[in-house]
Amino acid sequence: MILYSGHEEEDAHHTEGVAFMLSHEAQNALISWEAAGPKIIYVSFKTKKENIKLNIIQCYAPTNDKDGETKEDFYNKLQTLCDKLKEKDMTILIGDLNAKIGSDNRGYEEVMGRQGLGKMNENGEMLADFCAFNNMIIGGSVFPHCRIHKATREQKIK
């Protein structure tokens, strides 16, 4: 089963969107799912723990060169979705957040470790603020990794 959030028009090119591909086991545990626009999708699963769900949010954030309004709109939609989720449930945020958080975690010690790359950019600050507000941790920044495993792609500016 594939759950997709993207263009709603039938003849639209698939130039944006996020999705989940569910195994049979995941399909059996699926409670609900919701598309929150073309770049955010959420699924909720039953767990073996009574009254605790696993929520996974998959998203594709605007790149750092997009205007502030586009970025704020994205994070507002993400926050609206998170506000619906219960704090006792486990929530995991995954996706391409187009953020560089850097290795200087001063002011964000509760949110991130010191294993990021480079210097924090505007998107990194927005992500760190979002995580701080929602009591989330940027997991990839906590443990050491080889440099090649720290980023999926770095664009070289000429």
136 and 93 in contact (C-beta within 8 Å)? yes
Residue 156 lies in a domain: no
Alpha-carbon gap, residue 155 to 104, rounded angstroms: 21
Number of folded domains in the chain?
Answer: 1
H helix intervals, the chain:
24-29, 68-84, 122-133
Residue 154 lies in a domain: no
Find the domain containing 56 and state its range.
2-149
> Residue 55: its pLDDT value, please?
97
Q: Is 18 helix (H, G, I), strand (E, B) or coil?
A: strand
Query: Model's pTM, two decimal places?
Result: 0.84
Sign of the dihedral through C-alpha 145, 88, 81, 25:
positive
> For the segment 18-29, what is each residue's pLDDT rounded down to a tens digit?
999 999 999 999
Residue 155 lies in a domain: no
